[in-house]
């Protein structure tokens, strides 16, 4: 199997291209004052994930409630001004340092498609941050479900088929074993794991999978994927 066999790269966005972990940590430590400075990254991430489980709605509106949940648990300021500031910060989560340049390189070789649990409003911000690299995009607003729900992947498969692309021509690129790699592999997608947390313990701000799935391709960064493509 060669990278040159594919015509479409489908991307998870938040966690793979957008560095939401840095975004979350920076916002919590800025809004939480001195109490937040003493919290470990994992303590913040665990409270964040529990808050997201409680409020799984559209990321362009639910994150204020996620913050309140986290803040109450960790005894940080939980006022409406702080919650609104956290919600606004979600739209400004940064790209990974290699994302924009690597996507420009990859777009020379493939159709690029976003597959994101973000809603259309939040995704528009992330796409702008990434310099609008995508030829097509699928968000939770179109599918009505979020990954790892198999219907999300089925929707995208049908959408790309409508554009004339065979399933065998799609490579799904993602960081999350829980949301993407495991279920995509189970559904027959060829997968590429961008292991953004390589060398770090645990799963950070992403839920822990039942098991770690071996992908078809595996790189530590998006730049490494682009390098491999250009060597073919």
Domains of the chain (ranges, CATH numbers)? 3-19+94-231 (3.40.50.1000), 20-90 (1.10.150.750)
**60, pLDDT greater than 90:** yes
The mean pLDDT value of the chain amounts to: 97
What would you report as the CA-atom Rg of the chain, rounded to the nearest whole angstrom?
18
Average pLDDT over residues 54-63: 96
The string over 140-156, giving b where at least 16 C-beta atoms fall within 10 Å of a residue's C-beta and e elsewhere, is beebeebbbbeebbebb
Percent helix, strand, coil in the chain, to 5, is 50, 10, 35
Q: What is the pLDDT of residue 1?
A: 86
Average pLDDT over residues 50-66: 97
What is each CA distance from 64 to 31, 145, 168, in whole angstroms?
Answer: 12, 21, 40
Q: Give the whole-angstrom CA distance, residue 127 versus residue 44.
A: 26
Handedness of CA 202, 215, 210, 137 (dihedral sign): positive
Positions marked active-site: 12
Q: What is the pLDDT of residues 139-172, one digit of tens each?
A: 999 999 999 999 999 999 999 999 999 999 999 9
What residues have CB less than 8 Å from 173, skipping those under 6 apart?
9, 10, 11, 12, 16, 191, 192, 194, 222, 225
Q: What is the pLDDT of residues 184-227, one digit of tens each?
A: 999 999 999 999 999 999 999 999 999 999 999 999 999 999 99
**106, pLDDT greater than 80:** yes
Q: What is the pLDDT of residue 42?
A: 97
What is each CA distance from 98 to 80, 85, 106, 221, in whole angstroms?
Answer: 35, 27, 12, 8
> Cβ-count burial of 162 within 10 angstroms (0-12 exposed, 13-18 middle, 19+ buried)?
exposed
On the question of a cis peptide bond just before residue 148, with omega within 30 degrees of 0, the verdict is yes
**94, pLDDT greater than 90:** yes
SS3 108: coil
Measured in whole angstroms, how far is the alpha carbon of residue 57 from the centre of its chain?
A: 16
**81, pLDDT greater than 80:** yes
Q: What is the pLDDT of residues 30-41, one digit of tens each?
A: 999 999 999 999
Q: What is the pLDDT of residue 99?
A: 98
Could you give the percent of the chain with pLDDT greater than 70? 100
């Amino acid at each position: 199997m060669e990278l040159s066999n594919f015509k479409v790269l489908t991307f998870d966005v938040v966690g793979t291209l957008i560095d939401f972990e840095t975004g979350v940590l920076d916002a919590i430590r800025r809004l939480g004052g001195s109490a937040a400075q003493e919290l470990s990254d994992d303590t913040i991430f665990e409270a964040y994930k529990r808050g997201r489980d409680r409020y799984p709605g559209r990321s362009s509106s639910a994150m204020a409630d996620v913050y309140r949940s986290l803040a109450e648990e960790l005894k940080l300021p939980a006022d409406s001004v702080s919650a609104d500031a956290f919600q606004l910060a979600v739209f400004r989560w940064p790209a990974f340092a290699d994302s924009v340049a690597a996507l420009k390189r990859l777009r020379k070789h493939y159709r690029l498609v976003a597959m994101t649990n973000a809603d259309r409003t939040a995704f528009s911000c992330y796409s702008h941050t990434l310099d609008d690299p995508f030829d097509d995009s699928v968000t939770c607003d179109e599918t009505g479900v979020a990954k790892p729900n198999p219907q999300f992947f089925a929707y995208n498969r049908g959408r790309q088929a409508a554009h004339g692309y065979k399933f065998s021509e799609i490579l799904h690129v993602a960081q999350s074993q829980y949301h993407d790699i495991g279920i995509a592999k189970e559904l027959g997608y060829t997968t590429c794991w961008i292991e953004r947390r390589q060398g770090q313990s645990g799963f950070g701000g992403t839920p822990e999978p039942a098991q770690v799935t071996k992908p078809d391709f595996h790189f530590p960064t998006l730049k490494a994927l682009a390098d491999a493509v250009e060597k073919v």
